[in-house]
Structure 1
Amino acid sequence: MIIRLLPVLVLLSGTIALSACQILPQRPEVALYQLPPSSIEAGPGASGATVSSLRLDRPGTSDALGSNRVLVLAADNSFEAYPGARWSAPVPVLWRDWLLDAFWRDGSIDQLSVSADGLQAQLELGGMLRAFHTEYRHGSTEALIRYDALLIDTRTRKIVASQRFDAREPAGANDAEAAVHALGVAADRLAEELIRWVVTTTP
């Protein structure tokens, strides 16, 4: 009798599993974005540069910016995430790695690394990433990046210099694709100023 019931039980379990698959909602598709590569090009040389080696640290951020969500700040100062859109890495890591590439493209500093590598360097670039989002104001959207940069002497752990960098760029539309493009343009503009500041800083 038990043997005869086995096919029935198998059929029932299969039917239940199929029903469950139909009842559970499908996961929405998520698009992963990265910042467009920097357009910074190598200059005529490192003339005037006083920094021989630099390592980049992951910046501090607020809890809201610590995730991989693509954010927009509404008029009531509340953050919202673009639906179905994510950065390819948490924002602090995304920003550090993008900056590293920008420094490589510039070519003024020969020796570059990140703190996670554990390598020696003359200076360390860290700080606080206070804004990395779009803002919706008065019917239009613009990208905003605000980075409070710190240059630290790795031997003494003393702050060599500090400066705030801001960059804004109109987004043109209120969607994830436009936000990513505008943030990329703003990042390029900010990086040009940041790199020039770093390479001419004397420890």
Structure 2
Amino acid sequence: MVVGIGLSACVSVLPDPKPADTIYLLRSSVEAVTPRKDAKNFRVDRPTTPTSLQRDAIILSPDGNTYQTAGRARWSEPVPALIQWSFVDELAGHDEFIGVLPTSGVRTTHRVHLTVRNFEAQFDHGQTEAPLVVVHYIATVADASSRNLIGTFAVKSTRRADNIAISSIVNATREANQSALSDIIGWMKTLDLES
């Protein structure tokens, strides 16, 4: 009985468990890609990002001059990996392209690289109003063998979140990212990839 009282006393002095992080996915589904005879194969390199975006934090800008992280909310992977995977997924929806990761070992005819300038929610109307999500990429396409530059394209996509909730910011980020990647793919369709 004394042991039982002692154990119950020990349990009561332990700190309450901290709440778990909420982990968000950028992509909703992954499609299997099958080889297509006339499709151009693209190696999708890991994007280059500012240091603040090289981790899994959801980034908020309260004043346009500073960054903060979204408390206990984070992305499922570091931001460069999220963007890389979502680009491969977006390419899968277009018959003329196949996107593969460098780790796949697949020989490709072309490579595409993104430089990320922005990937954050900006509280441009104050911290009590829905933020504007800004996604800004610079895409570079090159011949995979010669590494000769084929072209570059800059795109900036914005989406206003419905409210200040992190889930709303994540949804707006998902939409802005998809729009930016879709614009990049539209530009890629205009390139002379036969040279």
TM-score, length-normalised on structure 2?
0.82
Deviation, structure 1 residue 105: 1.5
Residues 117, 22 of structure 1: CA spacing in aligned structure 2 closer, same or farther, 3 A cutoff? Answer: farther
Deviation, structure 1 residue 188: 2.1
Q: Between Structure 1 and Structure 2, which shows a larger proportion of helix residues?
A: 1
Amino acid at match of 1:166: K
- Written as runs of structure 1 = structure 2, the 5 A alignment for 1:168-187 is 168-187=158-177
Q: 1:76, 1:188 → 2: CA distance?
A: 23
Q: 2:118, 2:12 → 1: CA distance?
A: 41
- Written as runs of structure 1 = structure 2, the 5 A alignment for 1:26-175 is 26-37=17-28, 52-75=40-63, 77-109=65-97, 111-139=98-126, 140=129, 141-175=131-165
Runs of 4+ in 1 over 6 A off after TM superposition: none
The equivalent of 1:43 in structure 2 is none
User: Is 1:36–1:181's contact at 8 Å kept on the other side of the alignment?
Assistant: no
Q: 1:68, 1:21 → 2: CA distance?
A: 34
Q: Unpaired segments of 5 or more residues in structure 2?
A: 30-35
Q: 1:22, 1:31 → 2: CA distance?
A: 27
Q: 1:81, 1:191 → 2: CA distance?
A: 24
Amino acid at match of 1:26: P
Residues 32, 21 of structure 1: CA spacing in aligned structure 2 closer, same or farther, 3 A cutoff? Answer: farther
Q: 1:156, 1:135 → 2: CA distance?
A: 40
The structure whose Rg is larger is: 1
What percent of counterpart residues are identical?
A: 21
User: Is 2:134–2:157's contact at 8 Å kept on the other side of the alignment?
Assistant: yes
Q: How many residues align?
A: 181
Higher RCO structure, 1 or 2 (CA under 8 Å, sep 6+): 1
Q: 2:13, 2:101 → 1: CA distance?
A: 47
Residues 105, 37 of structure 1: CA spacing in aligned structure 2 closer, same or farther, 3 A cutoff? Answer: farther
Q: 2:72, 2:40 → 1: CA distance?
A: 42
TM-score, length-normalised on structure 1?
0.79
Q: Unpaired segments of 5 or more residues in structure 1?
A: 1-7, 39-45
